[in-house]
């Protein structure tokens, strides 16, 4: 067992949409033999259920009710982590543009965030985790051992998201994707509760000209520097 594995650190990776944080966080977790927790997938699963139940996203009370009722699990799978919503694997569906389009409205609700925060803290309580999201270093795990904020210019992020969706055979329009990213960043960073922003003690990593391998190495270097 490696030193990092024994230490069971808590690593928080935040950043805007398509900054490469999820792929980086997943690979870092693999290398360190840690649990990877994609909090965006949790918000996405909730959003999918809201859509499935045909609840308008502006109906806060009903959305909160769904958040209290649903059972969202993140489980390891052969092709990477899977998102299970009330027993059904929705890992692909949660990436659909319909979900992405309204998710920032749903994830801005205070009570929704409170429910998610408790679930996320529970998942991280034993350490040995890499958790990625928007408010992990600031709100969910303010005591995290390592806090990283990944950022990149919007065009780079749009290109990345287009590539990712194409690989999953999801039809894409680059301009729509870019507009969605801009809108989501705006809502995510200006909401009253847990807005997207770097924690005061976060290390900022600009991923604009970095490959995923570079990003992963940067995080591993930051972790090793800490030891
Ligand atoms: O990481 P992602 O793009 O899959 O996240 C989708 C949305 O979920 C994002 O636009 C805002 C919301 N989110 C959030 O508010 N807080 C988190 N910790 C993670 C995601």
The CATH number linked to 65 is 3.40.50.300
Quick one: which of 222, 210, 178 has its CA closest to 18? 178
Taking the centre of ligand 1 as the mean of its atom positions, its distance from the CA of residue 2, in whole angstroms, is 31
Burial of 118: CB neighbours in 10 Å, binned 0-12, 13-18, 19+: exposed
Q: What confidence score (pLDDT) does residue 125 get?
A: 96
**Rounded distance between C-alpha atoms, residue 131 and residue 124, angstroms:** 8
pLDDT reported for residue 2 = 82
- What is the pLDDT, as a whole number, of residue 170? 81
Domain count of the fold of the chain? 1
Contacts of 159 (CB under 8 A, 6+ apart): 174
Residue having the nearest C-alpha atom to atom 8 of ligand 1: 40
Closest CA to 88 of 99, 101, 72: 72
Question: Does 128 fall in a domain?
Answer: yes
With a 6 Å cutoff on the Cβ, whether 91 touches ligand 1 is: no
Q: Do the domain assignments include residue 226?
A: no
Q: Which of 211, 44, 11, 221 is nearest to 130 (CA)?
A: 11
Residue 32 near residue 19 (C-beta atoms within 8 A): no
Assess if residue 3 is contained within a domain. no
pLDDT, position 130:
98
CB atoms within 10 A of CB 180: 20
Q: Residue 142 belongs to what domain range?
A: 9-214
Residue 36 lies in a domain: yes
- How high is the pLDDT of residue 4? 85
222 falls within a domain: no
Q: Is residue 2 part of a domain?
A: no
- Per-residue pLDDT tens digits for 176-203: 999 999 999 999 999 999 999 999 999 9
Please provide the size of the chain in residues: 227
Q: Whose CA is nearest to atom 1 of ligand 1?
A: 40
8 A C-beta contact, residue 90 and residue 84: yes
d(CA 125, CA 64): 24
Q: Which of 188, 194, 198 to mutate to test the pocket of ligand 1 (most atoms within 8 A of CB)?
A: 188
3-state SS class at 53? coil
Cα–Cα distances in angstroms (integers) from residue 84 to residues 42, 71, 75, in the given order = 9, 8, 7
In tens, the pLDDT along 32-87 reads 999 999 999 999 999 999 999 999 999 999 999 999 999 999 998 888 899 999 99
The CA angle 26-87-29, to the nearest 5 degrees, is 10
**Nearest alpha-carbon partner for 141 in 126, 163, 162, 152:** 126
Residue of the CA atom closest to atom 3 of ligand 1: 17
- What's the CA-to-centroid distance between 100 and ligand 1, angstroms? 9
Q: What is the mean pLDDT of residues 171-179?
A: 92
pLDDT of residue 164: 85
CA distance 130 to 197: 18
84 assigned to some structural domain: yes
Residue pair 22/160 in contact by the 8 Å Cβ criterion: no
- d(CA 5, ligand 1 centre) in Å: 27
Indicate the pTM of the whole model.
0.94
Question: Is residue 94 within 6 Å of ligand 1 at its C-beta?
Answer: no
3-class DSSP state of 60:
helix
DSSP strand pairing (72-75 vs 82-85): antiparallel
Q: How far is the CA of 1 from the centre of ligand 1 (A)?
A: 33
Phi, psi of 23 (to 5 degrees): -60, -40
Looking at every residue in the chain, the average pLDDT score rounds to 94
Q: Is residue 61 part of a domain?
A: yes
pLDDT band for position 207 (50/70/90)?
Answer: very high
Question: What's the pLDDT tens digit per position in 113-140?
Answer: 999 999 999 999 999 999 999 999 999 9
């Amino acid at each position: 067992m490696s030193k990092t594995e024994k230490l069971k650190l808590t690593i928080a990776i935040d950043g805007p949409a398509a900054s490469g944080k999820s792929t980086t966080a997943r690979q870092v977790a693999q290398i360190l033999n840690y649990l990877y927790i994609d909090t965006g997938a949790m918000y996405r699963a909730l959003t999918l259920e809201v859509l499935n139940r045909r609840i308008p996203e502006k109906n806060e009370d009903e959305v909160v009710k769904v958040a209290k009722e649903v059972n969202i699990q993140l489980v390891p799978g052969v092709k990477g982590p899977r998102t299970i919503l009330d027993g059904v694997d929705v890992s692909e569906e949660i990436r659909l543009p319909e979900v992405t389009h309204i998710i920032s409205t749903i994830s801005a609700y205070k009570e929704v965030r409170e429910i998610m925060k408790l679930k996320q803290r529970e998942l991280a309580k034993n350490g040995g985790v890499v958790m990625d999201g928007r408010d992990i270093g600031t709100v969910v795990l303010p005591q995290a051992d390592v806090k990283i904020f990944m950022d990149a210019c919007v065009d780079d992020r749009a290109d990345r998201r287009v590539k990712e969706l194409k690989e999953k055979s999801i039809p894409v329009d680059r301009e729509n994707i870019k507009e969605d990213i801009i809108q989501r960043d705006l809502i995510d960073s200006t909401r009253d509760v847990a807005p997207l922003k770097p924690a005061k003690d976060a290390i900022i990593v600009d991923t604009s000209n970095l490959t995923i391998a570079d990003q992963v190495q940067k995080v591993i270097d930051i972790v090793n520097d800490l030891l």
